[in-house]
Chain A
Amino acid sequence: MSGMNTQQRLDALRGATPPRPHDARAIAALAANPGCTRRALMDGAGADKDAAARHLGFPAPFGQSPFAITRGNVFESLVKADGCAELLRMLRELLGLPIAEVAYHDVENVGAHLRHAHTRALIDRAARDAQDAGTLYDHPLLTLRIAGHTAYLEPDVVAFQLGGRFHIVEIKSFAVIDGQADPAAVAAAARQAAVYVLALRTLLEELGHDPLQVSHDVVLVCPENFANRPVATLVDVRKQLAVLRRQLTRMTTLDRLLEGLPDDLTFDLLPGEDGRPTRPVAELADALRRTTARYAPDCLSTCDLCFFCRDEARQEGASDLLGRQVRDELGGVGSVAEALGLADGARDPAAGQEEIARLLRNAERLRRECLT
Chain B
Amino acid sequence: MGVPGVSLLTSLARLRALDEGIAQPIATVRHCHLRDQPMVFIPLKLSGEAAAPLAAMLGTERDRPRLLVVSQPRNRDLRFAWAAELAGVLLPYIARFLADTETVERRGADPYERALDAPQLIVPNAAGVAFTRLLGRSTRFRRADGPYPVPDVVPLLGRWLTYFGERAAYPGSSLMLAATEELGRHWASGQSSLEDANLAALLGWITEGPSDAAEDPLIWPPAGPATDPGFDAEVLAPAIDSGSAERITEALRSQLEPTWRLMWQAIDLLAGLEAGASVAQRWEQDRGSFSGMAQSIAEGAPPQARRDGAIAAAAKLARMERAQAGYEVQRAYDDPLIMAEYRLTGEAFAGEVIETVPDNVEGEGRSRKLRPLVVIKTDDPVRLPPGASLGTPQRRGQGAELVSADEGLVTVKITKGMGRGKTPTPGAVPEVGERVCYTSLTDDFQGSPNLPDAEATPWTHGGPPQHHAAEHTPDDEDAQEEWS
- Which residue of the partner chain A has the closest CB to B26? A367
Q: How far is the CA of A65 from the CA of B217 in the complex (A)?
A: 14
A-B interface contact total, Cβ < 8 Å: 145
State whether the Cβ of A94 lies closer than 8 Å to any Cβ in chain B: no
State whether the Cβ of A70 lies closer than 8 Å to any Cβ in chain B: yes
- Which residue of the partner chain A has the closest CB to B307? A178
Q: How many whole Å from A340's CB to the nearest CB in chain B?
A: 6
- Which residue of the partner chain B has the closest CB to A311? B212
State whether the Cβ of A223 lies closer than 8 Å to any Cβ in chain B: yes
State whether the Cβ of B232 lies closer than 8 Å to any Cβ in chain A: yes
Q: Which of B44-52, B251-259, B323-331, B395-403 contacts A (4 or more CB under 8 A)?
A: B44-52
Q: With contacts A67-B237, A227-B484 known, is A340 near B15, CB below 8 A?
A: yes
**Within 8 Å CB of A360, what residues of B?**
8, 12
Q: How far is the CA of A298 from the CA of B194 in the complex (A)?
A: 8
State whether the Cβ of B63 lies closer than 8 Å to any Cβ in chain A: no
* CB atoms of A226 and B483 under 8 A apart: yes
Chain B residues within 8 Å of A, Cβ to Cβ? 6-9, 11-16, 18-19, 25, 28, 46-52, 134, 137-138, 190-195, 215, 227-230, 232-233, 236-237, 306-307, 336-337, 340, 343-344, 379-381, 481-484
Interface residues of A in 217-264 (CB under 8 A from B): 223, 225-229
State whether the Cβ of A337 lies closer than 8 Å to any Cβ in chain B: yes
**Within 8 Å CB of B194, what residues of A?**
297-298, 300, 323
State whether the Cβ of A177 lies closer than 8 Å to any Cβ in chain B: yes
State whether the Cβ of A363 lies closer than 8 Å to any Cβ in chain B: yes
Q: How far is the CA of A340 from the CA of B15 in the complex (A)?
A: 7
* CB atoms of B50 and A226 under 8 A apart: yes
* CB atoms of A65 and B25 under 8 A apart: no
* CB atoms of A322 and B192 under 8 A apart: yes
* CB atoms of A228 and B12 under 8 A apart: no
Q: How far is the CA of A329 from the CA of B9 in the complex (A)?
A: 10
Q: With contacts A179-B307, A367-B12 known, is A70 near B48, CB below 8 A?
A: yes
What are 20 A-B contacts with C-beta separation under 8 Å? A63-B233, A65-B233, A174-B50, A225-B482, A226-B51, A297-B192, A317-B19, A321-B191, A321-B192, A322-B14, A326-B11, A326-B15, A329-B7, A336-B15, A363-B12, A363-B340, A366-B9, A366-B340, A367-B337, A371-B337
Q: How far is the CA of A63 from the CA of B237 in the complex (A)?
A: 15
Looking at B51, B227, B337, B340, the one whose CB has the most chain A CB atoms below 10 A away is B340
**Within 8 Å CB of A96, what residues of B?**
none
**Within 8 Å CB of B134, what residues of A?**
177
The 10 tightest CB contacts between A and B, nearest first, are A68-B48, A227-B482, A175-B50, A65-B47, A71-B48, A63-B229, A297-B192, A323-B192, A65-B232, A366-B340
- Which residue of the partner chain A has the closest CB to B5? A325
Among candidates B190, B229, B307, B482, residue contacting A226 with C-beta atoms closer than 8 Å? B482
Q: With contacts A63-B229, A65-B232 known, is A370 near B6, CB below 8 A?
A: no
Q: How far is the CA of A365 from the CA of B381 in the complex (A)?
A: 12
Q: How far is the CA of A369 from the CA of B435 in the complex (A)?
A: 12
Q: How many whole Å from B175's CB to the nearest CB in chain A?
A: 23
- Main SS of the interface on chain A? helix
- Which residue of the partner chain B has the closest CB to A366? B340
- Which residue of the partner chain B has the closest CB to A174? B50
- Which residue of the partner chain B has the closest CB to A181? B50
Digitize A43-86: 1 where CB-to-B-CB distance is under 8 Å, 0 elsewhere.
00000000000000000010111111111100000000000000
Q: How many whole Å from B340's CB to the nearest CB in chain A?
A: 4
Among candidates B25, B47, B481, B483, residue contacting A371 with C-beta atoms closer than 8 Å? B25
**Within 8 Å CB of A69, what residues of B?**
48
Known: A66-B232, A223-B50, A325-B193. 5 other contacts (CB 8 A): A65-B229, A225-B481, A319-B15, A363-B8, A367-B13
Among candidates B8, B48, B195, residue contacting A359 with C-beta atoms closer than 8 Å? B8
**Within 8 Å CB of B381, what residues of A?**
362
- Which residue of the partner chain B has the closest CB to A326? B11
- Which residue of the partner chain B has the closest CB to A182? B130
* CB atoms of B28 and A371 under 8 A apart: yes
Q: How far is the CA of A67 from the CA of B233 in the complex (A)?
A: 8
Digitize A289-308: 1 where CB-to-B-CB distance is under 8 Å, 0 elsewhere.
00000000110100000000
State whether the Cβ of A330 lies closer than 8 Å to any Cβ in chain B: yes
Q: How far is the CA of A364 from the CA of B8 in the complex (A)?
A: 10
**Within 8 Å CB of A322, what residues of B?**
11, 14-15, 18, 190-192
Q: With contacts A329-B8, A367-B13 known, is A337 near B19, CB below 8 A?
A: yes
* CB atoms of B193 and A323 under 8 A apart: yes
Q: How many whole Å from B62's CB to the nearest CB in chain A?
A: 30
**Within 8 Å CB of B340, what residues of A?**
363, 366-367, 369-370
**Within 8 Å CB of B236, what residues of A?**
67
Q: With contacts A65-B48, A66-B237, A322-B190 known, is A228 near B481, CB below 8 A?
A: no
Q: How far is the CA of A319 from the CA of B11 in the complex (A)?
A: 10
**Within 8 Å CB of A192, what residues of B?**
none
- Which residue of the partner chain B has the closest CB to A228? B484
* CB atoms of A325 and B137 under 8 A apart: no
**Within 8 Å CB of A229, what residues of B?**
482
- Which residue of the partner chain B has the closest CB to A68? B48
Q: How far is the CA of A298 from the CA of B195 in the complex (A)?
A: 10
* CB atoms of B193 and A339 under 8 A apart: no
State whether the Cβ of A135 lies closer than 8 Å to any Cβ in chain B: no
State whether the Cβ of A204 lies closer than 8 Å to any Cβ in chain B: no
Q: How far is the CA of A322 from the CA of B15 in the complex (A)?
A: 8
